[in-house]
Every structure is written in structure tokens, then in C-alpha cells.
A and B are shown apart, each in its own frame.
Chain A
Amino acid sequence: MPAYIAKRLLLMLPLIFGITLITFTVIHLAPGGPVEVETEMSLKASAQARENLKKLYGLDKPLHVQYLEWLKRFVMLDFGKSFVDNKKVVDKIFERIPITLTINMLSLFLIIAIAVPVGVVSATKQYSLFDKLTTVFVFLGFSTPTFWLALVLMIIFGVSLGLLPISGIQSIDVSGMNYFERLIDWIKHLILPVGLSAFGGIAGLSRYSRSSMLEVIRQDYVRTARAKGLKESDVIITHALRNALMPVVTILGLSVPGLIGGSVIFETIFAIPGMGQLFYASTMSRDYPTIMGILVIGAVLTLVGNLIADISYALVDPRIRVSGDK
């Protein structure tokens, strides 16, 4: 197993290199380069000030030198300072990551907790009413613009019923609350964002577990299990489900970039101070160092998500574990 993990980690290196290269290229697509953008806001910026800025970011050097210097600093997690407030980009990002990761973890948990049972039941009762209803839900889930659904739910639960808060992650008067009240307050703020970011995933994953399960329950060993007189629940849970879940793990890993990317929309709508909101604000103010930092970190988080998925896959599937150790 350690050999397998080591191999997987090694395979990540060229990918990370490629990610930095693409990020660097994207930012330098800017007509006139990053300095033009920063100084065009203030017409007074003199030619001298521009030169200073260029020097500061090393923009007067040839491109490959710029890239190598940026890469060198990147390896040490030094993404430079934000154009906006001169704070270190890495600090800005890391103070935002916990809330984004918390929301994404919670919605991943919600996705698994709902989608897998739903998928299994609709597979075992194929063409039943339940199966048909979930199919309808799946198509709606794929097709609903979630930011619009967010607006609708904000109108219903926030404005009309007044049940749930519609912005931020805590109330203004939070300092006067005890620990328990704070927790309740926090949960109330997270219900809509977490539920919404899980919405599309639930549709996708329940469809996927359904088809994976349908494939497995037609296998010979499931028939054998039935033939030797096992209870139906044992057949489904211990024999079929374990095998059906394996491809599902991979899909979960692949859904990480979607979740992280979606955080831009949710955090902007619900005014949640996470990485997505920071990214949106940086996009609007063209804060290149922050944009580059988040782009790279977002991609690396995706790779880590895939790695975790691969490792869990190997844990449940002995074939991979063994061949990886060779």
C-alpha cells in the first residue's frame, strides 16, 4: 500500500507542474500585462511608477525567467502580495479555506448520505414509482441553475417565511450568545448553502449509484448468493452494494472540482467569506497574484481529492492494492 501511495504522489508532480504553467499562461494573456491593468485605474500613475511596479513583479524580465522565479516562490508557498490590500496572498487564501472546505465537506457528506441509498433503492426496484420519481428528480437536478434555486429558496425561507437567514455565516448579535446558541445560529446559516451545493451532486451520484448497482445485481455471484438462500437484504448489502460502491468512489473524487468551482456562486449569493467569494472579488478587481494563488490551490485541492478517492478505491479493491505494490 505505501508503494502505491508513493507512486500516486509521484504521478501528481508533472500534473502540478502543468497546472502552474497553465495558470501562468492565463494571467499573461492580459493585453498590456498585469501592470497596465493596475495603473489604468489611476491616470496619475507616472511612467516611473509603472517601471517600479514592473520591477517589483519582475515583469521586465523575459517570460521564462518570470515563470521560473514565480515557480521558485510557489514551491515555498509564496504567491506574492495582493494588488488590493498588499496582504500576503497565501495568508488571504488560508484564512478563507476552512469555511469553503467545511461547506464542501458537509455537502459531500450530504450527497453520499442521500444519493447512495436512493440509487440503491431505485436500482433494486427498477421501474417502480420510486424509481420513476427519482429519475424525474435527477433530470431536474441536472437542469436547474442552482443560483436561481438559491434565489427561490431565499425568497421562500428567508423573505416570506423568515425561517432562515440569507447571508453570512453568523448573525450580527452572535457575541451575546452562548456556545449552544452559536452552534444553532451557525447551522441555520449553513442549511441553504450546503443543501444547494449538494443539490446537483445528489442528482448525479444517485443516477450513478443506480446504474452501478443495476450492473452488479445482474452478476453471477449475486445470483449465487440468492440461490444459496441468503436473505434479500444480505444479498443487496453485503454482496452487491460493496462492489457497486467502488466506481462510485471514483465519481466522488471527480466531483471535487465542481464543488470547489461552485463555491464561487454560493459564497457570492450568500455572502459567505470563503475562497470562492475571495476569488470573485479578485476577479472583479483583477488582483492577479490572488487569482493565480487560488487557481493553483484550487487545482491542487482537486488533485488531493482524486488522490483520496484513488486510495480509498485501492483500500476496497485488493486487485489494485496488489498490482500497485509490485
Chain B
Amino acid sequence: MFKIIWNRFKRNRLSVAGLAVIASLALAALAAPLVSPHSPTKIDVYNVLAPPDASHPFGTDELGRDVFSRMVWGSRASLKVGFIAVGIAIAIGTFIGAVAGFYGAKVDAVLMRFVDIMLAFPTFFLILAVIAVVEPSISTIMIVIGLTGWMDVARLVRAEFLTLKERDFVSAARALGSTDSRLILRHIIPNALSPVFVAATFGIAGAILTESGLSFLGLGVQPPDPSWGNMLTSGKDNITVAWWLSLFPGVAILVTVLSYNLVGEGLRDALDPRLWRGDE
């Protein structure tokens, strides 16, 4: 099964390139202390806003800190937020979608109204409101992005459940005396996972973008901890004198998000049986 998916995925060269970028970023994030040439937080007052050179390939910021090292450490923030926020969103979305789709009728109506209500809020507004109430920090935004991002997953899972629960293998399991929770967890969810994986990949891309936007506004990862978003804040403050502060972290966000989107696209095609040809 995985072999088939991988063979299909591999045909899309761009998606494979995206996967390679993601893998090397993850490695760099894990090995941040080894990869970064300088300390990400060490202040050097004699070397403030230095343009890129051999010792500081991406220059230094307004406190003389090495931009490249800060970016390497900042990739940890993106990775963490992306995966944990999406993990939360998938868990909530799958639960609500599964319950709504499985039980239908009133349960479904109430839960889907709840989804509609959540979707009516401009997500960014809702996130900001919560951050106004709770201290902004990396854990806050991971949780908040997760709590405000599960609605699409819930809709996807519900739709899968609506068709899957009528299928013969489910009726058979029910006739054999399976409990509801066993039916949901063992029989239906494993068959409903493909669209969830695809949504999760796109979701990570979205979560990284949101995190960088929030950190840029000073509401996400708090200085002196580096994140690509809050590095761009100093880029904005020094916009007339230090272009490198704006350029490199932005490109890093763009390339990372692009990679997740490309992998998501490749995964979607690879998992869609309608696109499978007879040759496999």
C-alpha cells in the first residue's frame, strides 16, 4: 500500500523536491546547535547591522546577533507550531467529524451548526482575541491555531463517514456485534484517513504562515527567542538600512510553506484512486 502511494507520489518531481526541503529543514532544526555558526542570542555591540560577509553569511541584526544562526534556531519554532497545531486540529476535527457523520440526525445538525459558527469568525480575529486574554507565547499560539483550525477536517471526516457507514463491511462488522466505538475507530476511521493526511499537510503550511504573522506582530514567539516571523519585525524596523533582515527570513518562510504545499498536492494526487492508472 505504502509502496503504491510512494510510487505514485514520486512521479511528481516538484513534490519530491518539496519533501527533500522539508526533510533537510527538519534535520537542521534538530541539529541546530551543530549547524549554526554562532549563538542565536549572543549580542555583539561592535557588529550591529553588519551586511552579509564570510563570518555572517546573512548579516547581523540590530543587536549584532547572527541572522543565519537565528534562522536555524527559528526553524524549530516553525516546525513545532506546524506539527503540534495541526495535530490538535486533526484530533478535534476527526472526533467531531466522526461523531457527526456516524450518528447523523440531531447530533450531526448541532455539531455542524457549531462548525458554521466557528467558520463565521475571521480566524485571525479569533486568534488575536484569545492571545489578548492569555499571555502570548509559542505554546499559546500552537494551541490557539489548533483550536481555530479544525473545522475543515471535521467537514472532510464527516463526509467520509456519511458514505463509509453505509458500506457493506461496516454493516457486516455491526452484524457481528461491534460496538459503536469499535466501528468508528477500527473500521471507519482507517478508511477515512487519506483526505485527512492531505489536509494535514496543507494545514502545516497554513499554521507556519499564521505563526510567522503572529510573531511578526509581536503576539507569537517572544524575543529573544528567534522565529522567522519575529525576525521580520526587526526587518521592518530597519527597513531603510538593512535589507538582509527582511529578505532571508521571508524567503525561508516562503520556501518552507511552498514545500509543504507541494507535498500536499503530490500526496493528494497519489492518494486519489480516481487518478490511479491500471498499470499499478
Contact = CB atoms under 8 A, between A and B. Distances in A.
B27 interface: no
A22 B217 contact: no
7 contacts: A19-B117, A144-B254, A145-B232, A265-B217, A286-B133, A292-B129, A302-B122
A29 to B, nearest CB: 5
A298 B131 contact: no
Nearest to B122: A261
A148 B255 CA distance: 13
Contact of B240 (A14, A148, A159, A282): A159
Contacts of A268: 217
Interface string A69-111: 0000000000000000000000000000000000000000000
A26 B133 contact: yes
Given A142-B261, A145-B213, A280-B217, A14 B128 contact: no
Contacts of B114: 18
A29 B140 CA distance: 13
Contacts of B126: 26, 295
A2 to B, nearest CB: 23
B262 A27 contact: no
Interface string A137-174: 00110111101110110110001000000000000000
A143 B21 CA distance: 14
B206 to A, nearest CB: 9
Interface of B: 113-114, 116-126, 128-134, 205, 209, 212-213, 216-219, 229, 232, 235-236, 239-240, 243, 246-247, 249-250, 253-254, 257-258, 261-262, 265
Contacts of A306: 120
A22 B219 CA distance: 21
Nearest to B123: A261
Contacts of A258: 122-123
B219 A15 contact: no
B236 A260 contact: no
Interface string A183-207: 0000000000000000000000000
Given A144-B254, A145-B212, A295-B125, A151 B239 contact: yes
A298 B121 CA distance: 7
B132 A298 contact: no
A33 B243 CA distance: 43
Nearest to A158: B239
Interface of A is mostly: helix
B261 A143 contact: yes
A159 B213 CA distance: 22
A143 B258 contact: yes
Contact of A303 (B120, B125, B133, B134): B120
B55 to A, nearest CB: 25
A273 interface: no
B258 A148 contact: no
A294 interface: yes
Contacts of A300: 120
A139 B262 CA distance: 8
B145 to A, nearest CB: 13
A147 B216 contact: yes
A288 B129 CA distance: 9
B246 A260 contact: no
Contact of A151 (B133, B219, B235): B235
A264 interface: yes
A9 to B, nearest CB: 15
B116 A26 contact: no
Given A298-B121, A298-B122, A291 B129 contact: yes
Q: Which of A139, A140, A148 is the most central at the interface, judged by chain B CB atoms within 10 Å of its CB?
A: A148
Contact of A295 (B121, B218, B243, B265): B121
Contact of A22 (B117, B213, B232): B117
A269 interface: yes
A235 interface: no
Given A18-B114, A148-B253, A261-B124, 13 more contacts: A15-B120, A18-B113, A18-B116, A143-B209, A145-B209, A145-B229, A145-B250, A148-B249, A148-B254, A152-B246, A284-B218, A291-B132, A303-B120
